[in-house]
């Protein structure tokens, strides 16, 4: 069911991209939209991990530098039957972690210095299991493709707005001009919003799945529950400075950039309270 839902969302995103391209630029617009999607997906497939790590200032670490992290990672990677990812540390006080890479053979996991200082062994194990679940389930590739398509839709909508201002796009035969102009107007403003909602749905679904898979990988959800509670508390107080906003969707919890804003209403992450409640239900723990 989760696989079908993910596939359906990606198909819907592609449909929105093609329809928006057609409404904004006719047949040529659809062709341009498909070319943009193909090029951006190519870049995303091969370079999204390098972009995320570089933009966050992540540094590779060795087993000698962080034996505790390597021990947890190697044990859980063996349980998940995947290669041990490359490990990185982000010079960031706010606790967080993210995984990136197009498949398990090219995966990397980055944790912040704040997370290593804050988490006990059980909590660190829960966080790493969550990230390895993303790697095993190819979530990074899926969400990167979704973000790429959504970005192409937004780009096309921006082109459409400029075209409307300049009077050079969306036109057609005289008897179709009025209807085409209305369709274009709707696409320019509604297509990016639809893409955002679909991207949010996909990302939130994968976060719930990674929580569940990670808890089962460890054998119990308590470490991850405690980790999420700590991450929520600290990330409401400590602004993130190193992890870039473009990489924030990869993080285990939504980072705080500056002061809190209404953007949380459109977050790619589910509410922490809901994620914790779902984990507690796995063991029948009464909700507080």
User: Distance between CA atoms of 20 and 153, rounded to whole angstroms?
Assistant: 7
User: Shortest CA distance to 135 belongs to which of 71, 209, 24?
Assistant: 209
Residues facing 88 on adjacent strands: 60, 110
**CB-CB contact of 169 with 180 (8 Å):** no
CB 283 within 8 A of CB 220: yes
Beta-bridge partners for 67: none
| Catalytic, out of 131, 176, 207, 229 | 131
Strand-pairing partners, residue 86, are: 108
Q: Give CA–CA dist 77/207, Å, rounded.
A: 19
Q: Which two tokens stand for residue 9?
A: 């969302």
- Catalytic residue flag (residue 131): yes
What is the CA 129 to chain-centroid distance, rounded?
17
The per-residue b/e assignment along 201-221, b for 16 or more CB within 10 angstroms, e otherwise, is bbbbbbbebbbbbbbebbeeb
Going by C-alpha positions, the residue among 241, 253, 264 that lies closest to residue 55 is 241
Cβ proximity of 112 and 81 under 8 Å: no
Instruction: Give the ranges where the chain is alpha helix by DSSP (H).
Output: 2-55, 67-80, 113-118, 121-136, 139-166, 177-218, 222-235, 272-281
Instruction: Using alpha carbons only, give the angle 49, 52, 57 rounded to the nearest 5 degrees.
Output: 125
| CA pseudo-torsion sign 160, 195, 148, 28 | negative
Residues assigned a catalytic role: 131
């Amino acid at each position: 069911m989760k696989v079908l839902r993910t596939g359906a969302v990606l198909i819907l995103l592609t449909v929105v991209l093609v329809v928006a391209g057609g409404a904004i630029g006719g047949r040529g617009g659809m062709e341009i939209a498909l070319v943009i999607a193909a090029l951006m997906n190519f870049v995303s497939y091969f370079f999204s991990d390098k972009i995320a790590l570089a933009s966050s200032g992540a540094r590779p670490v060795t087993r000698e530098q962080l034996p505790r992290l390597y021990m947890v990672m190697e044990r859980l990677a063996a349980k998940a039957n995947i290669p041990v990812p490359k490990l990185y540390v982000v010079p960031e006080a706010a606790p967080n972690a993210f995984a990136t890479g197009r498949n398990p053979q090219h995966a990397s996991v980055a944790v912040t210095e704040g997370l290593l200082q804050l988490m006990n062994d059980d909590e660190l194990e829960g966080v790493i299991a969550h990230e390895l679940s993303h790697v095993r389930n190819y979530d990074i590739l899926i969400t990167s493709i979704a973000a790429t398509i959504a970005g192409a839709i937004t780009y096309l909508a921006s082109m459409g707005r400029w075209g409307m201002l300049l009077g050079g796009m969306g036109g057609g035969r005289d008897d179709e001009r009025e209807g085409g102009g209305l369709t274009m107007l709707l696409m320019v403003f509604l297509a990016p919003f639809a893409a955002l909602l679909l991207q949010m749905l996909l990302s939130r679904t994968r976060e719930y799945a990674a929580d569940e898979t990670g808890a089962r990988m460890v054998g119990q959800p308590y470490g991850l529950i405690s980790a999420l509670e700590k991450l929520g508390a600290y990330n409401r107080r400590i602004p993130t400075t190193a992890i870039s906003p473009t990489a924030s969707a990869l993080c285990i919890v939504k980072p705080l950039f500056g002061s809190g804003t209404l953007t949380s209403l459109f977050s790619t992450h589910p509410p922490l309270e809901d994620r914790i409640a779902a984990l507690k239900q796995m063991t029948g723990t009464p909700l507080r």
